[in-house]
A and B are shown apart, each in its own frame.
Chain A
């Protein structure tokens, strides 16, 4: 079969490129004649700027003559960054034509904004038209499948579920000892790894914060990767992350180019891969970890939960608390050299038994468990009962924020009237609906962030107050003893 694959491609370092080349290998091994078309110069046979309506038109000229066109779909390949509704509509319409001209189109979905399928605006109509021209849409989880059908109204039978890592191959033969030696990672440490392009939605900062709360002396967290595109927002995030890591004992940033081989070597070197994504559709990293039987902790976003169910040792966490708990569980499991538990609770260790200094040991254990549970730098002491009044006051502060209602998905009121005025209102409503929803969404995200920040600050203040009180009590006691 003569196949055209449209995709980012090596040696460009990119998750989709890495995925695509493995599919190309598999297809060629089956005897297919595969031509690769990439959005920029690469090892692909052809390259073409595919962005916008012009890109779609150029693609339309290329698709004829192939029995099958496979598209590794990411919006950035086809849609201009910050595209207007009109640009989105024109691009989708252009792609609809390109897909229509092809004998058979298969789209492998790596990311998409489902919101673009809803509504009656031209962009949504064009998007649904475009997807209706695709013969097969490949997704990796049931959740993605359901969301896609709901958003773009495609026929369910046109959507196929595949194993994300089905075509994946290993890029390293190194064992863990070799991998650690060559990466300058301590041979005996408990090693956590957050790897990939460094950008806010990957949430590597969450891994660092969780690690800071629970790490002991033998644990390490390596954040490995680079910024994918040199956009100010991404660079600022990288700088913040680097600062955070520099202040976190045991955490280390390994910033730089990561080849497929190096990527896999890190996976082999790690005891556990930590992927605290804020948003993602599905994750190639989980699949690469699966190749090497490396355990994984992921947040419950996108289709990761469904993807995790296929993994032998993948822990899904709901929030930062559970993330810290999961890290602590791994650390506890490693210290006992036992199998890592799958549950999300704090370390399930035995309490100290009778013997010398039982109270001290118990007290230490209580502090340790409380540290994990509440979230504080290791070694910090907390005694909320002593400062109940102040904690209450702080809680009140959080309560004020909690009473601030989410911003509604406001839009211009609908109108049932007739005539030019009502028509104009309808048009404006349709044109602004998407933007207004987005603004509301962003404001609510801001509110969630503020809630969390105030909560964290409140707890930190309480902890400091507790420390002051304890130190004061300690001094008084010493004064009495002395």
Chain B
């Protein structure tokens, strides 16, 4: 940690969701980054919504200001009206159809919106040295990062998906104060879709290092016998969950193997009938049990094609567990190649062979996993990542001086009543 950095001024982290119960890689990273920077002497606040779930965006948390984990958290209510055109435009975007700029604007504005948060930032933009937004395609990031772009930093979470190529997002990629990328493939994708990127840095992503693991206790507490494949995170189509289930069932139907599928996180499980008894849903686990699950697993599966970093594969490697992953994700394939600790599959047949390898050759699987922990410790500890983040923030966001705040400065953040207009 650099002692000579100027850490004056308040940083606002602006994830669309925040809270202990929130499931989502980017949101968890935001929280850990905020806590890490606070511990290094930065004044950090959280500006977020009242929502817990990113599908329905219901206002679960109370609007207003609270203290959570020693951070000031300001929550604002979500407005989420059913607008039919949203679904139509979304389908066209995902199908790769040409969508005009006017349509793109209608698409981004016809989903969830947070007018009170927008106006809070509008009033108080000069109260913050910088604001960190994530992920790029959310309304909160799109609308609010452009209020004071010279103070807005994006933790982009860029995936190779149709949204990334919408013209709508180009100004964010070119005009923000800075962009944080987590991997080389994410940066490469950004340069592919945008030829004049804003100042940027590849800083990786920090991962918590558990002090101890208790795989045997975990098996006992959750009554799990035998080897199992683990999946952690959101169970939804975009994460490849349903396709992976189908492929798992097809492989098992073809020739049974001794490898259950254990999952934790959010979303419906919906296993095919033939493997119903093989799939165990543990729901939402506390952090230490999540770590234990990684250690107890025979392998971890990452079926998502859309990963900007994939913290879960790091957690698997830290726990000495091998990874099998969808080769469609350049980021995850890149990690597997760099670490030498993971296998990738391109189709159902390759996935089946990965399963059989894990089930049939546990010793080789353990050997495959061996270099993984070192890879994570070398590149993705929070200390290393925060060093890079701080260097960039110091460079992109000038420390506050009397000259940097315009004379018509608005109310101080602390004097505001959150939730009113």
Contact = CB atoms under 8 A, between A and B. Distances in A.
Do these two chains really belong together in a complex? yes
Interface of A: 10-13, 21, 24-26, 28-29, 33-36, 40-45, 169, 171-173, 182-184, 226-230, 256-262, 265
A453 to B, nearest CB: 31
Contacts of B118: 10, 43
B175 A261 contact: yes
Interface in B304-355: none
Contacts of A260: 146, 149
Interface in B91-119: 100-106, 108-110, 113, 115-116, 118-119
A173 B150 contact: yes
B198 interface: yes
Contacts of A29: 123, 408-411
B170 A41 contact: no
B174 interface: yes
Given A11-B109, A42-B109, A261-B175, A256 B142 contact: no
B100 A265 contact: no
A42 B118 CA distance: 10
A265 B175 contact: yes
Given A11-B143, A25-B123, A43-B143, A35 B421 contact: yes
A30 B146 CA distance: 23
B81 interface: yes
A45 B115 contact: yes
A256 B139 CA distance: 19
B167 A257 contact: yes
Nearest to A167: B408
Given A11-B146, A45-B119, 12 more contacts: A12-B109, A21-B122, A24-B122, A25-B410, A41-B109, A42-B109, A43-B113, A173-B150, A226-B101, A227-B100, A257-B167, A262-B174
Given A11-B109, A182-B196, A257-B101, A28 B119 contact: yes
A152 B119 CA distance: 36
A258 B105 CA distance: 12
Contacts of B105: 11-13, 257
Interface string B253-281: 00000000000000000000000000000
B89 interface: no
Nearest to B101: A226
Nearest to B106: A40
B123 A259 contact: no
B251 interface: no
9 contacts: A10-B146, A25-B122, A29-B411, A35-B421, A41-B83, A41-B110, A183-B196, A257-B104, A257-B170
B394 to A, nearest CB: 16
Nearest to A25: B122
Contacts of A41: 81, 83, 106, 109-110, 113
Given A11-B146, A42-B113, A44-B115, A262 B171 contact: yes
A172 B123 contact: no
A28 B175 contact: no
Contacts of A265: 175
A153 B337 CA distance: 77
Interface in B169-196: 170-172, 174-175, 195-196
B167 A229 contact: no
A13 B408 CA distance: 24
Contacts of B83: 41
B196 A40 contact: no
B406 interface: yes
B395 to A, nearest CB: 14
B62 to A, nearest CB: 19
Nearest to B81: A41
B29 interface: no
Contact of A257 (B119, B171, B195, B410): B171
B168 interface: yes
Contacts of B119: 24, 28, 43, 45
Given A172-B175, A261-B149, A227 B101 contact: yes
Task: Give the most central of A25, A40, A41, A260: most B CB within 10 Å.
Answer: A41
B411 to A, nearest CB: 8
A21 B420 CA distance: 17
B410 A256 contact: no
Contacts of B101: 13, 226-227, 256-257
Interface in B358-382: none
Contacts of B196: 182-184
Given A28-B410, A35-B421, A230-B100, A261 B171 contact: yes
B150 A259 contact: no
B146 A34 contact: no
B265 to A, nearest CB: 31
Interface in B116-146: 116, 118-119, 122-123, 139, 142-143, 146
A29 B146 CA distance: 19
Nearest to A14: B105
Nearest to A263: B171
Nearest first, the 7 A-B pairs at minimum CB distance are A259-B171, A261-B149, A43-B118, A261-B175, A11-B143, A41-B109, A262-B171
Interface string B291-308: 000000000000000000
B149 A259 contact: yes
A34 B119 CA distance: 10
A28 B106 CA distance: 27
A171 B102 CA distance: 22
A29 B175 CA distance: 26
Contact of B143 (A10, A35, A172): A10
Contact of B102 (A21, A28, A228, A258): A228
A265 B83 CA distance: 34
Nearest to B199: A182
Contact of B171 (A24, A184, A227, A258): A258
B93 to A, nearest CB: 14
A349 B69 CA distance: 71
Nearest to B139: A11
Contacts of A261: 146, 149-150, 171, 175
B102 A230 contact: yes
A381 to B, nearest CB: 39
A199 to B, nearest CB: 12
Contact of B150 (A10, A36, A172): A172
Contact of A40 (B109, B167, B170, B172): B109
A44 B198 CA distance: 28
Interface centre among B104, B149, B196 (most CB of A within 10 A): B149
Contacts of B100: 227, 230
Nearest to A31: B411
Nearest to A12: B105
Contacts of B174: 182, 262
A229 B170 contact: no
A13 B146 CA distance: 11
Contacts of B409: 29
A256 B409 CA distance: 32
A28 B123 contact: yes
Contacts of B420: 33
Contacts of A227: 100-102
A24 B172 CA distance: 23
Most buried by B among A26, A43, A169, A258: A43
Given A34-B421, A43-B143, A169 B406 contact: yes
Contacts of A45: 115-116, 119, 421
A35 B118 CA distance: 13
A4 to B, nearest CB: 11
Contacts of B406: 169
Nearest to A259: B171
Contacts of A42: 109, 113
A11 B104 CA distance: 11
Interface string B212-231: 00000000000000000000
A151 B171 CA distance: 41
